[in-house]
Structure 1
């Protein structure tokens, strides 16, 4: 039986396969200007992580909506000319229903991103983009999350190239940067393993986990929240840097373990200031950084990558830590729970 850790260890090979088979003309997205993305759960987090890459790469505005609430209360902007429905399983009931509802009144191009091209969602869209990572049988999405981030970034490249805002040379440069990031995934896993061994006693004892990020890694922080809640099964939240400073910090106490996701940019100092302030009030402040640092409680990845690409790498340490903390707390992640949930709540078709 495959485990969550097995899938984590397959991520580099999986993403290399995806980018190796990339065809920039595969999906027709010429002249897209305003894009609505519908997703839930880890798929939604992946969209947040890829949004800034798409917008910085292509001449397009990206709106991301959590599907269920948007289905029942949302209003579509008349300027939207592309709907992307993201569902790894292809069975998300609310996402399928939202696509059907939104395309009833006017013709809008629709694309589904899914790992199952024969799933129900493929029947309600114009085109299907295979996530190209196989069917993930473990319930806690890992390589599927990373594959979704990468495929959305590659979709941004397609929009840019087909809209003639990017020539072939720039496309090659972007693909090279993505390939370089992907080639460092196993290195990230190795360094996270070392970090885990150094801090495992404290992390296993943890009872409240919070991650704080900014920019494209707000998506990473939200995926931390999803993954830790699913696996470690203790209160866990992911916050945008400034949002945490507008109220949630008042909850901080000696039981809290904070992770700060940092890139070397203009917001780095603000994150550092918050960490310094809170360090005397919480159990621990950890840092996960792309920079080369040698400091206590710091996972220094020493990777070279543009900030807009870093979500491809920075989600992986949290996947690894979620698995290790959960299993070392005695949680059997291969033992299914709430088996009748989807059937009773009808969240999936």
Structure 2
């Protein structure tokens, strides 16, 4: 039986396949300026992680909304000329109903991003982009998350290309960058395995997990929250760096373990300053960084990478740690719990 860890090990090959087979000649994405993304859960986190890349590459404005709240309380900005509904399964009722409502009432291009081209969501949109990563049969999304981040980034490249913001030479340079990043995934897994082996006795006793990220890795922090909550099943949260400093830090105590997600961006010093302060007030301050490091409690990935695409690598350690810590605690992730939840709450078709 396939488990969550199997899918983590498949991520490099899967993303290489997506990159190789992606169709950049989708003319309907020409002249897009404002895009609304509807997504929830890991799909929302992935959209948040891809947002900075999408805006800076395609020169478009991105708004990300939770579909249930948008369906009942939201309004469609007349500036939107594209709506992307993200649902890996294609069965999320809130996302389906929200995009269906927009498609019926507005003259806006609608696209579904899903792993199942025959799923219900594909029936209510103008076009479908398949995530091209197969059907992930484990409920704790891993390679599906990474595939969503990559596909959203590639969609923005398509928008840029179709709108003549970039040419074929620029496109090839972007793709080369992606190949180099994706080629480091297995290396990141190996380094995370080593880190886990050294820290597992501490990690299994941690009682409160908080991930703190900035820029595109705000999405990574939110996905860390999602993965740890789903698997380890202990209180877990993900915060944007400055947001943590405006109230949540007041909760800190010696039961808390903080994960700082750090890239060589313009606000790195701000993260380092917060970490230096908090280290005396919490149990542990772990760091996951793109830099090389052999310091205590630091997972140094030693990769040269543009901050914009760093979420493709920096989420991997959280996925791996979530699985391994849960397993150490004796949690059987292959055993379904709340088995009737989707049926009773009608959260999926």
TM-based fold match above 0.5? yes
Name the SS for the 1:205 alignment partner: coil
Q: Which residue does 1:186 correspond to in 2?
A: 186
Q: Distance in 1 between matches of 2:252 and 2:227?
A: 21
- In 2, Cα distance between equivalents of 1:120 and 1:301: 40
Distance 2:265 2:136 in 1: 35
Tell me, what secondary structure is at the counterpart of 1:257? strand
Alpha carbons 2:142, 2:319 under 8 Å: kept: yes
1:27–1:127 Cα contact (<8 Å) kept: no
* Residue 111 (structure 1) aligned with residue 111 (structure 2): yes
* Structure 2 residue aligned with 1:166: 166
- Could you tell me the TM-score, scaled by structure 1's length? 0.99
CA distance in 1, matches of 2:254, 2:53: 37
> For residues 316-327 of structure 1, what are the structure 2 equivalents within 5 Å?
316-327=316-327
Contact 2:257 2:284 in 1 (8 A): yes
**SS in structure 1 of the partner of residue 29 of structure 2:** coil
Counting only pairs closer than 5 Å after superposition, residues 235-274 of structure 1 correspond to structure 2 as 235-274=235-274
Specify the alignment match of 1:101 in structure 2. Answer: 101
Please tell me whether the aligned partners of residues 103 and 124 of structure 2 are also in contact (alpha carbons under 8 angstroms): no
SS at structure 2 position matched to 1:83: strand
Partner of 1:84: 84
> Secondary structure of 2:246's match?
coil
CA contact (8 A) 2:34 2:61 kept: yes
Aligned twin of 2:202: 202
Deviation (angstroms), 1:105: 2.2
CA contact (8 A) 1:252 1:281 kept: yes
Match of 2:11 in 1: 11
The within-5 A match list for 1:15-26 is 15-26=15-26
**TM-score, structure 2 as length reference:** 0.99
Which residue pairs with 1:297 in the alignment? 297
Could you tell me which residue of structure 1 aligns to residue 133 of structure 2? 133
SS at match of 2:216: helix
Whether 1:143 and 2:149 are equivalent positions in the alignment is no
Task: State how far apart, in whole Å, the 2-side matches of 1:229 and 1:292 are.
Answer: 29
Q: Distance in 2 between matches of 1:34 and 1:48?
A: 16
2:114, 2:128 within 8 Å by CA — same for their partners in 1? Answer: yes
Match of 1:337 in 2: 337
CA shift for structure 1 position 27? 6.0
The structural deviation recorded for 1:76 is: 1.0
CA contact (8 A) 2:26 2:162 kept: no
How many residues end up aligned between the 2 structures?
349
Q: Which residue of 2 aligns with 1:175?
A: 175
* Distance in 1 of aligned mates of 2:127 and 2:261: 35
CA distance in 2, matches of 1:192, 1:95: 34
Offset at 1:28? 2.4
Which residue is equivalent to 1:43? 43
Q: Deviations over 1:66-89 (max 9, x none)?
A: 111111001110010000000000
Deviation at 1:56?
A: 0.7
Q: Deviation per CA, 1:37-66, whole angstroms, max 9, x where unpaired?
A: 000100000000000000010021000001
2:214–2:241: 8 Å Cα contact kept in structure 1? yes
Shift of 1:103: 2.2
- Distance between the aligned counterparts of 1:212 and 1:192, measured in 2? 18
Match of 2:31 in 1: 31
- Partners of 2:148 and 2:58 lie apart in 1 by 18
Query: Is this contact kept in 2: 1:27–1:129, CA < 8 A?
Result: no
Unpaired stretches in structure 2, ≥5 consecutive residues:
none
Q: Classify the secondary structure of the residue corresponding to 1:227.
A: helix
